[in-house]
Amino acid sequence: MNLHVEFLYFRGCPNQEAARKLLVDVLRENRLKVTLHNMRIDSRDEAIAKRFLGSPTIRLNGVDVETGAERRTDFGMQCRVYLAGGKYAGMPSTKMIRSALERALTDSTAPIANEPRMERFISPVCC
């Protein structure tokens, strides 16, 4: 299975390095070899276009590691705050990343549209 991992941040984020290290550690403990796409966000317009909820943001197969984040619209150049275990933090917890990874690896429908040659079987006019 291909796992698409995105790490979005802005320059100067005080939590970006620790969050990136935590993400890499969780991926390694699961013996996953993936390409980590580091995406630096440089402007408010880019933040809106990328649906950037703040730095750092981690997405697995396009899905934010924070449950419910898809409903948020507060995109911009801000430090991100995560709520995990009743506490606020400037980066996702290990548990949050592990849970998101488990969801991404067990969702058999998400990556298939990204597989080579699948576009000819998925018609935009269908259904």
Residue pLDDT, tens place only, 74-90? 999 999 999 988 999 99
**pLDDT mean over 57-61:** 97
Q: State the DSSP code for 64.
A: E
With a cut of 80, say whether residue 46 has pLDDT above it: yes
pTM, full prediction: 0.81
Residue pLDDT, tens place only, 94-113? 999 999 999 999 875 544 44
Q: If you count them, how many residues does the chain have?
A: 127
Q: Which residues of 38-70 are buried (b: 16+ CB within 10 A; e: fewer)?
A: eeebeeeebbeeebbbbbbbbbbbebbbbeebe
Residue pLDDT, tens place only, 2-38? 799 999 999 999 999 999 999 999 999 988 878 899 9
